[in-house]
Homo-oligomer: A and B are copies of this chain.
Amino acid sequence: MTPYAAPVRDFRFVLEELLEHGSLALPGFEEASPDLVEAVLEEAARLAGEVWAPLNASGDRQGCSRGQDGSVSLPDGFIEAYRAYAEGGWNGIGVSEALGGQGLPEVVASAVQEMLHGANMALGLCPMLTAGAIEALAHHGSDEQKATYLPKLVEGTWTGTMNLTEPQAGSDLSKVRTRAVPQEDGSYRLFGQKIYITWGEHEAAENILHLVLARTPDAPEGNKGISLFLVPKYLVNEPLVNHDGSLGERNDVTCASIEHKLGIHGSPTCTLSFGENDGAIGYRVGEEGRGLNHMFTMMNEARHKVGVQGIGVAERACQQAFAYALDRVQGRRGGSECTISDHLDVRRMLLSMRARTDALRALALYCAAQLDVARHAADAADRLAAQARVDVLIPVVKAFSTDQAVEIASLGVQVHGGMGYIEETGAAQLLRDARIAPIYEGTNGIQALDLAGRKLQRDGGAALTQLIDEVEGTARALSVTTELAPLGEALAGGAADLRAAMAAVLEAGADTERGADAVQAYATPFLSLAGHVLCAWQMGRAALAASAAQASGSKEPFYVAKRQSADYAIRQWLPVGRAQRAVIEAGMASLAAFDAAAH
């Protein structure tokens, strides 16, 4: 099994040479000096590589198990590895200082997340869900709730979960049936069953705070009848008044079963039963009937995190494939024995994996930097403009990164040949693990609808148009240099395709009769085209930065490699995405007429 070495050099390249938006110099980030950031990255790399990564394969093999009492056992070492993370203060690095965190920029926190997921995605899910709970409480919790629960969540001594899905309510949460019955003391009693609850039960933390969507009595049908509740595994003594943080009774919530999944075996995916006895005691978070809205507040960031998670797994797949290809002697080149990394068809796979991973990372970190600007820029107009970009970018980062991560992990299997199909090698695990990411936190189809429907239609494409303008600016900058001109030409072509496809999607959306259907039919090809063009844009910027470093005299092989990545991404990967324009322009007749029952 290849060890995992976090790509710190590449994080530094993106942070220092690609992100010209100065997100590290925003108000509030005064302490995030380059030295501090580098130290954070190095230390996170150590935790990821030395503590988390070695447990990835064993965690997959052993998996989780549920005892007859409903307790859940994690794979060996997971509790210790989680505690090393929490005790190292990692859980709060991206949380604001006001909430007890370290208030580092999101772009730094995202880099750390990528490392942890690359090292051990199953374990990485635990803090990812906790981060969602922190967001939900920070935005919508009462002062008492914040005081009672946030410090422990930020520390990581308690963890959080998101309880949305029920058997009949998946992508359509309006169908949630879990009931929340108000009690005289202002609390609620919850009754119902939730499925697919990530890290829903475990012993790694002293307590687990379940955030639960449920329906109050006499609430209207559909979305507006749903509220958000906090249901602790162990009740906290005196939660609504002065509290001492001490834990009381076990609440009436139990793990009824855990799922047997394709991957992420080290992450317990639970069915949780609320209220099998007297009802699970819960506390409403935010307004009655606004549960879905409150949940979506944090979902945007969770979606970014899932994209980053995909990139982490893609990075590990790259590392493993490169190591294997550089080691495996097979065949001949130029008359002598060689490793398979010398065969051009294998190089094609390796470079394809590397170029895509680099590109996805650059785009995800660009998005994170825009998040920082949206939150921290001094100027309100800057904040709004950045938020508009974030809104457009997040579905792309989530869906495109995860779809690509599955392909990259699958290429990783292919590079290994027959060895890739043997579980001991570890390449197959990465494919199995990655495969969930296009599904959860809103399927990639939902992301595409979010982009092509809501995000694009509501501003008439204004935010995306600004991004396309920037892509064209990068294309022009590339065209100035003879060497980079072919990249500029290809990138400009991609930008033109995206602009044309956007116009088609906007036109379809404006059609009152068939609009919703047409946007749906075009959504996934459109997101794929946008992902390819925006990633190619980032690689165009990377080519410019690498070229500038070389012009300044750098002989670092990193820049040579980066330019090869950029060349491949723009000239041999982008064309595949550009084909999606033709897919969109071919129209939606076959989909509109399609009757699944007749096939």
Binds B, one of A140-148, A205-213, A299-307, A435-443: A435-443
Q: Contacts A172-B330, A521-B344, A564-B594 hold; do A435 and B422 have CB atoms under 8 A apart? A: no
Contact residue among B422, B436, B568, B589 (Cβ-Cβ distance under 8 Å from A261): B422
Q: Is A383 an interface residue (CB 8 A)?
A: no
A172-B331, A345-B521, A561-B598 in contact; A259/B422 too (CB < 8 A)? yes
Cα–Cα, bound, A587→B448 (Å): 32
Residue pair B260, A423 in contact (C-beta under 8 Å): yes
Distance of A367 Cα from B345 Cα, bound (Å): 26
Q: A27-35, A123-131, A238-246, A346-354: which lies at the B interface?
A: A346-354
| Assembled-state Cα–Cα distance A572/B168 (Å) | 33
* Chain B neighbourhood of A551, CB < 8 A: none
Q: Are A590 and B575 in contact (CB under 8 A)?
A: no
Q: How far is the CA of A410 from the CA of B444 in the complex (A)?
A: 13
Residues of B within 8 A of A592 (CB): 344
Most central of A435, A565, A572, A582 by chain B CB within 10 Å: A572
A15-23, A98-106, A413-421, A461-469 - interface stretch = A413-421
Choose from B343, B439, B582, B598 the contact partner of A420 (Cβ within 8 Å). B439
Residue count of chain A within 8 Å CB distance of chain B: 93
Given known pairs A423-B260, A449-B345, A561-B599, the reply for A571 and B586 (CB within 8 Å) is: yes
From A73-81, A275-283, A424-432, A498-506, give the one contacting chain B.
Answer: A424-432
Closest B residue to A332 using CB positions: B172
Contact A417 B591 (CB under 8 A): no
Say how far A326's CB is from chain B's closest CB, in angstroms.
5
> 6 smallest A-B Cβ distances: which pairs?
A344-B520, A575-B582, A571-B586, A341-B596, A579-B579, A262-B428
Question: Can you list 30 A-B pairs with a CB-CB distance of less than 8 A?
Answer: A171-B331, A195-B418, A261-B421, A261-B422, A262-B421, A263-B421, A341-B596, A341-B597, A343-B520, A345-B445, A345-B521, A347-B521, A347-B591, A350-B599, A351-B591, A413-B435, A486-B586, A490-B586, A557-B598, A560-B598, A561-B595, A561-B598, A565-B599, A567-B590, A571-B583, A572-B586, A575-B582, A576-B576, A576-B579, A578-B579
